[in-house]
Chain A
């Protein structure tokens, strides 16, 4: 039996895990990074963010080519070679995963391929292809992530019923695709498959798609979905699925009626569940909550003093950048620094068409909590840059504290919103006021000007829109 000693072992090499491993190594720690996949990068890189964004970019080309007719440029209908598209997407993943492996090597981070299992509070067993390896560690960082949830009722063992993992593999372009769940994963993949030519029916159990985001921001996204999907059904409940030859028979309750329909494929995107099975957590003092996420404090400590947990497995919002920030905080805490996740602003981006992004306090949240805020909006129809991009379907919004004019939250819907929200996060983190945002020169002509103009609109003097004078008391 081989046993290695290590200061830090990181279990899981997703964006949380590899960030933690690299940062700890940069801080002079001896680190082992364990992952069950040969390809590093976790779900984000292999089965999540990166492949979906590669496919979304490809589908955007299809859309833009189609819409170029308005500018007098017409193309023939696109021919889509699925194998080449998949190959290109996989090559992106391959390059990035290879990059992570190289970075690990250069830092002296030892990578072990195999499933990690805790034998105790300071002992990890790794099942590698060469056999068992035991790692005696001082501190472990658990970053094993989550996987798509598949309710037992839908799990027929039929490959036509997919989760995001299979959908990102694009085996074929289904004629009729049912997407169960109108959250961000369903919406992003729906956008991809709609562009590739599938007829999409989306079924969401709640009264609205993209629940949680402000309704004024989701409006453009809904409009797109309604125009490009065959149907968007809210308050719809899938009762049963069954295999019927090479189709899936779906029984659904919607609008007071029970429908029975046939689909070529079904994508189930109803949420994600923590990967806590076969981890040996029960051999440590770490505890999990009722949903199976590992309980941590604001410094990512579990109940076991030698074990930290970060990313999806630690619950909260399941986003790669949240995992990466937690990785840094955990490593700093291990190194004795006074870091915490408390009050950290975590932006959310939905890569739909148009993109949707927000950070800090949302208007919906402020209303629910009875917080007095002032919301200012700027329509992209007044943005020169949006017009030249032929994308006036955007809006920028600031959620402000009326007393101090402090920016409490930022919401953006529109082309490239995901890239624009970075400035919003900076403003919220820095405690900037609307005046600060208005005073900063933004380059022309860019979409970033919309942030400045929104802030100016708060003071009633946005250059490219006219705001009627209001009673100052109303502010």
Chain B
């Protein structure tokens, strides 16, 4: 039976094989990871559909493979029923989808022409030249003629669609620099994750008018609370961190200021307020930035949040994160405290409208109730979408948040009431130790 690259998620059409975990002749168990695929969003393990033997491996590490591509042949207990759903995931023949002139096809945003033979997308030499002159990458244009051939009209429609979508997708201009003229250089291809980050950042930066608001929070008390309860949490199987505590405060503050948890639907001219609060947590990995999402942060206790943080951070660093874990965020927290630095201007994770950046807390002398005292001061930065949020709202949000950090309600940290619910997600502990 063939093992093909499955449909991983909406908008993901290909990936790069980053590891092959089996060899020809190996026996494998159902669910055992055969290979790992790096997609634009994450590294996804591809499991074996059944117990069997690896007959043939038809791909190598580093290969770019499209959804539906056969990568392995397994023999053994593969029943017909197991292969059926796989077969439906074969790439469809490229059926031309006419692009309407007036309404740009938004679903085409991630379209990429891929040719195993390494040929350019089907189009006449004159159309290819036209695209070159415009600095247009034809692999992104979906052709409407038989076989997906791109006509001059398709190129015009695509450009019209781009203009409708704003400047976000316009290729960066500027002359190519031959750096080797100035000294020795090394060229390394961008990973698909890096390309994705680059595209997302550019799109967010170009489409959102950013304003960043700064504040300082005295986290002396918060740090003391952490110290006080860290042992108890350890017993419950998780490390209590400042991030865990602050997430609780952030979620509460988002509930109080719902516009920071909203999104803009420009086409409909509406503001989308969300009843849920999923907070993305920017994680720094060797491969680059990944933002796993903590679901329903507002409904979770500090213990549950701490467990979530540990699990997601571990999954992210070991590149086992699932696509769903990266989707659906409504606000993002980028905590650089563990690394260092003070205030910075984080870029909003579109379609969210705000992002919180936290720096490293440091001991400073401050005046409190007329006295000069030592305090642990943490730099707080809030970037917001000025189309939706005004400066006054942002100032109120950050002031409330600082206050919530400074006067953190100890009852949220206490474990008595929450220890029962904490028993369930225990596997997190096992994972951390492995």
Interface residues, chain A, with chain B CB atoms under 8 Å away: 337-340, 342-344, 360-361, 366, 369, 371-373, 401, 403-406, 408, 429-433, 435-436
Contact = CB atoms under 8 A, between A and B. Distances in A.
B125 A432 contact: no
A431 B117 contact: no
Contacts of A371: 116-118
Contact of A406 (B91, B122, B125, B128): B122
Contact of B93 (A339, A403, A429): A403
B129 interface: yes
B117 A361 contact: yes
B119 A372 contact: no
10 contacts: A337-B129, A343-B119, A404-B93, A404-B122, A430-B122, A431-B124, A431-B143, A432-B147, A433-B149, A436-B147
A346 B316 CA distance: 48
A340 B132 contact: yes
| B interface, size bucket | 20 to 34
Given A337-B133, A338-B133, A343-B119, A430 B148 contact: no
Interface in B122-141: 122-125, 128-129, 132-133
A436 B128 contact: no
A195 B129 CA distance: 46
A431 B133 contact: no
A340 B176 CA distance: 15
A338 B146 contact: no
Given A401-B117, A404-B122, A431 B132 contact: no
Contacts of B122: 404, 406, 430-433
Contacts of A401: 115, 117
Contacts of A360: 119
A404 B94 contact: yes
B117 A405 contact: no
Contacts of A403: 91, 93-94
Nearest to A338: B132
Interface in B148-183: 148-150
A364 to B, nearest CB: 13
Given A339-B129, A408-B119, A431-B150, 14 more contacts: A343-B119, A343-B128, A344-B125, A369-B117, A369-B118, A371-B116, A404-B93, A404-B94, A404-B147, A406-B148, A430-B123, A431-B124, A433-B146, A435-B146
B147 A406 contact: yes
A372 B116 contact: yes
Contacts of B118: 369, 371
Contacts of A337: 129, 133
- Classify the secondary structure of B's interface with A: loop
A188 B115 CA distance: 36
A437 to B, nearest CB: 11
Contacts of A432: 122, 147, 149
Contact of B117 (A366, A429, A433, A435): A366
A426 to B, nearest CB: 9
Contacts of B93: 403-404
* Closest 9 pairs between A and B when the two form their complex, measured CB to CB: A431-B122, A433-B147, A338-B132, A343-B120, A338-B133, A431-B149, A404-B147, A406-B147, A371-B117
Interface string B300-339: 0000000000000000000000000000000000000000
Nearest to A408: B117
A403 B92 CA distance: 8
Given A338-B133, A429-B124, A436-B146, A373 B117 contact: yes
Interface centre among B93, B115, B122 (most CB of A within 10 A): B122
A21 to B, nearest CB: 22
A338 B119 contact: no
Contact of B147 (A344, A373, A431): A431
Contacts of A433: 122, 146-147, 149
B149 to A, nearest CB: 5
Nearest to B93: A403
Contacts of A373: 117
Nearest to B92: A403
A214 to B, nearest CB: 15
A338 B129 CA distance: 7
A432 B147 CA distance: 7
Nearest to A342: B120
Interface in B69-98: 91, 93-94
